[in-house]
């Protein structure tokens, strides 16, 4: 049985992709119901999803401390 090697680069944008997907879905629904414009809703959802995804990815990274 071969072990699966996990590369750090594989997980670096995990939350970003999840945020984009969820943001587009929620934005589409908001666009249809609230804005009455699907394109506007998708744009807003994408922007919010990217912002949340990047914030969660940065939170997940190990913190670097300086020792003097």
For the entire predicted model, the pTM comes to 0.74
Q: What is the pLDDT of residue 5?
A: 55
**For the chain, domain boundaries:** 14-60
Select the more confidently predicted residue: 65 or 46: 46
Alpha-carbon gap, residue 21 to 37, rounded angstroms: 19
Q: If pLDDT is split at 50, 70 and 90, which confidence band does 13 have?
A: confident
Q: What is the mean pLDDT of residues 33-47?
A: 96
């Amino acid at each position: 049985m071969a072990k699966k090697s996990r590369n750090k680069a594989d997980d670096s944008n995990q939350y970003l992709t999840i945020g984009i997907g969820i943001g587009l879905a929620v934005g589409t629904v908001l666009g249809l119901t609230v804005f009455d414009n699907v394109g506007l809703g998708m744009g807003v959802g994408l922007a919010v999803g990217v912002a949340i995804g990047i914030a969660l990815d940065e939170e997940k990274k190990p913190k670097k401390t300086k020792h003097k």
